[in-house]
């Protein structure tokens, strides 16, 4: 049997699990470890990006793949004997976009651990994806940021609200309690070996500046299965509670929109919003999570009040600022634009990048890379109503490039007239709306 046929067989088994889970939300699974076989792990190995940073063992994809069959057989033998133990995760701190000076931890695991975690991710997704609710959009197959943005915008457009709760969870990934997560997983998974390997993964620890830290909390951001584990935890802690408890006790319509730990709750009545905020804080505390009191806020977002001349608030979601404005025909409608912090942060990054590469590459290569960055920005932020903001960003970014390209030598490389001729010959990407919200 060819490798592709083995991969199709594994995919068929995962689809079977998903089908069983979708038919019966009480279904439990007690035999999962057979999915970890030579061909399924080989498939995971082929999916890994060989350009990514290596873990603490220093083994990269080329080195491991040089004797792939032998290495996979050795790994499976250790897993059968329960002798396989995930290594500690190497932690690096990366800057938070739009928050100068702030960082978030990123975990980099060993290559072998990444393969096992990738297969674990596939198994968990097969079980839980059919159970997740429509309000959840983060790190799910076939769903993304723009789906969440569109759904939220549609709800704001078609419904009269008084208040939006802009929820900020304090250090969500780092606060997930291992014991409580294990209890949640055991509701659906009865395969003890599978659970034991998950517990070993939790207890592998984090290596920071040659110091190993083992905690009872947190799943490292950057590992293949941390997004689905974070989603499972949020599903039971937030989504299930909101649908089965909160909605039943509210007088008006309330809707939740969640992208992993980025949460917005739309409330028809302000008093419902106050009650939900208080109850949400208590609910999160039961599971070891906390609201960021400084950033969680209740935002007035009433089209009716704006019609009467009362100013309404704004809130941020997935890099966009939502606000109420006037349509061409004078109607009050929800609109959105690039979040100001993201706007300024991206321009600073372009300036820092241009400064670092101005003497490293020739002019055409620098401009090619700049245009590639611009296309990525426009593809994400190119949504309905955001064309003006995109044009401003594009113009500012081009001026920043003009500044730094002029410093490639003691004499200026360009005057403005020459630069305009260069732009005509090599135009930057055009502003375009890639995602319509209506």
Strand boundaries in 87-157, DSSP class E: 89-95, 103-108
Tokens read off for 131: 């159970």
Residue 28's alpha-carbon distances to 37, 116, 414, in angstroms, are 22, 22, 68
Instruction: Report the chain's mean pLDDT, rounded to a whole number.
Output: 91
Q: How is residue 231 written in tokens?
A: 């989603």
Residues 6+ apart with CB under 8 A from 198: 120, 182, 185
Mean pLDDT value across residues 175-192: 96
- The answer to whether the CB of 313 falls within 8 A of the CB of 303 is no
Q: Is the pLDDT of residue 5 over 60?
A: no
Asked if residue 3 has pLDDT above 60, the reply is no
Buried b (16+ CB within 10 A) or exposed e, 52-75: eebbebeebbeebbeeeeebbeeb
Q: What is the pLDDT of residue 21?
A: 96
Cα–Cα distance, 153 to 157 (Å, whole number): 6
Reading the block at residue 349, the tokens are 């990054």
How confident is the model at residue 306, as a pLDDT? 95
Q: What percent of the chain has pLDDT over 90?
A: 76
Q: Among 13-27, 82-96, 337-351, which is the least confidently predicted range?
A: 82-96
239 secondary structure, DSSP code: I
pLDDT of 213 reads 74
Which residues lie closer than 8 Å to 299 by C-beta, 6 or more apart?
163, 164, 165, 166, 312, 313, 314, 315
9-13, 16-20, 280-284: which has the minimum mean pLDDT? 9-13
User: Structure tokens of 30?
Assistant: 């007690």
pTM exceeds 0.95: no
pLDDT of residue 366: 94
pLDDT at 413: 66
What pLDDT is attached to residue 89?
A: 83
Whole-angstrom Cα distance, residue 219 to residue 204? 10
Of 82-86, 219-223, 341-345, 373-377, the poorest mean pLDDT is in 219-223
Of 220, 195, 193, nearest to 205 by C-alpha is 220
Closest of 339, 374, 359, 345 to residue 404, by C-alpha: 359
Cα atoms in the 13 Å half-sphere on the side-chain side of 252: 20
- Greater confidence, 58 or 165? 165
Per-residue confidence (pLDDT) for residue 1, from 0 to 100: 44
Distance of alpha carbon 402 from alpha carbon 111, whole angstroms? 42
Give the mean pLDDT of 153-178: 95
pLDDT on residue 106: 76
Structure confidence by residue, pLDDT tens digits, 103-134: 777 778 899 999 999 999 999 999 999 999 99
pLDDT above 60: residue 6 = no
Per-residue model confidence as pLDDT tens digits over 373-422: 999 999 999 999 999 999 999 999 999 999 998 887 656 667 788 889 99
The residue extents of the domains of the chain are 5-131+178-216, 237-338, 340-425
Note the pLDDT of residue 97: 65
Element (H, E) at 147: helix 145-158
pLDDT at 377: 96
Model confidence over 141-164: pLDDT tens digits?
A: 999 999 999 999 999 999 999 999
| pLDDT (tens digit per residue) in 192-222 | 999 999 999 988 877 777 777 777 888 877 7
Q: Say whether 129 sits in a helix, a strand or coil.
A: coil
Shortest CA distance to 123 belongs to which of 189, 218, 181?
189
- Of 161, 394, 167, 395, the C-alpha closest to 297 is 167
Contact present, 213 and 205 (Cβ < 8 Å)? yes
**Between these two residues, 419 and 267, which has the higher pLDDT value?**
267
DSSP structure class, residue 177:
B
Q: Which long-range contacts (CB under 8 A, 24 or more apart) does 380-383 make?
A: 380/145, 380/319, 381/319, 381/320, 381/338, 382/431, 382/432, 382/433, 382/434, 382/435, 383/146, 383/149, 383/320, 383/336, 383/433, 383/434, 383/435, 383/436, 383/437
- pLDDT score of 219: 83
Give pLDDT, residue 8.
61
The answer, yes or no, to whether residue 58 has pLDDT greater than 90, is: no
Q: Where are the alpha helices (DSSP H) in 358-386?
A: 363-381
């Amino acid at each position: 049997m060819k490798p592709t046929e083995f991969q199709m067989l594994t995919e068929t088994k995962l689809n079977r699990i998903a089908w069983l889970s979708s038919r019966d939300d009480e279904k439990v699974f007690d035999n999962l470890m057979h999915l970890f076989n030579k061909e399924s792990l080989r498939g995971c190995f082929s999916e890994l990006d060989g350009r990514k940073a290596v873990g603490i063992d220093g083994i990269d994809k080329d080195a491991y793949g040089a004797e792939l069959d032998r290495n996979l057989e050795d790994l499976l033998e250790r897993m059968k004997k329960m002798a396989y133990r995930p290594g500690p995760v190497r932690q690096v701190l990366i800057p938070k976009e739009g928050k100068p000076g702030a960082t978030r931890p990123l975990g980099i695991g060993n290559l072998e651990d990444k393969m096992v975690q990738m297969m674990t991710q596939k198994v968990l997704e097969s079980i839980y994806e059919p159970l997740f609710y429509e309000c959840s959009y983060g790190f799910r197959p076939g769903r993304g940021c723009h789906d969440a943005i569109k759904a939220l915008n549609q709800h704001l457009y078609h419904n009269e609200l008084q208040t939006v709760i802009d929820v900020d969870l304090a250090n969500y990934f780092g606060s997930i309690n291992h014991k409580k997560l294990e209890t949640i997983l055991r509701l659906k998974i009865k395969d003890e070996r599978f659970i034991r390997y998950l517990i070993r993964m939790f207890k592998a620890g984090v290596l920071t500046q040659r110091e190993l830290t083992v905690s009872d909390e947190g799943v490292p951001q950057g590992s293949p299965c941390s997004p689905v584990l974070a989603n499972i935890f949020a599903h039971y802690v937030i989504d299930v509670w909101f649908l089965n408890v909160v909605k039943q006790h509210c007088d008006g319509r309330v809707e939740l929109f969640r992208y992993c730990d980025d949460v917005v709750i739309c409330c028809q009545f302000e008093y419902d919003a106050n009650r939900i905020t208080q109850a949400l804080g208590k609910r999160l505390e039961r599971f070891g999570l906390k609201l960021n009191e400084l950033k969680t806020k209740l935002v007035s977002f009433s089209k009716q009040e704006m019609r009467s001349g009362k100013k309404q608030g704004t809130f941020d979601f997935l890099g966009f600022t939502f606000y109420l404005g006037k349509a061409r025909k004078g109607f009050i409608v929800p609109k959105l634009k690039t979040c100001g912090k993201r706007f300024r942060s991206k321009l600073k990054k372009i300036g820092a990048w241009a400064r670092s590469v101005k003497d490293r590459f020739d002019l055409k290569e620098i401009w090619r890379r700049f245009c590639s960055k611009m296309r990525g920005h426009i593809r994400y932020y190119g949504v309905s109503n955001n064309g003006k903001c995109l044009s401003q960003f594009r113009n500012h970014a081009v001026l920043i490039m003009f500044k730094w390209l002029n410093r490639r030598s003691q004499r200026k490389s360009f005057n403005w007239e020459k630069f305009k001729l260069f732009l005509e010959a090599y135009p930057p990407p055009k502003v375009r709306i890639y995602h319509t919200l209506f």
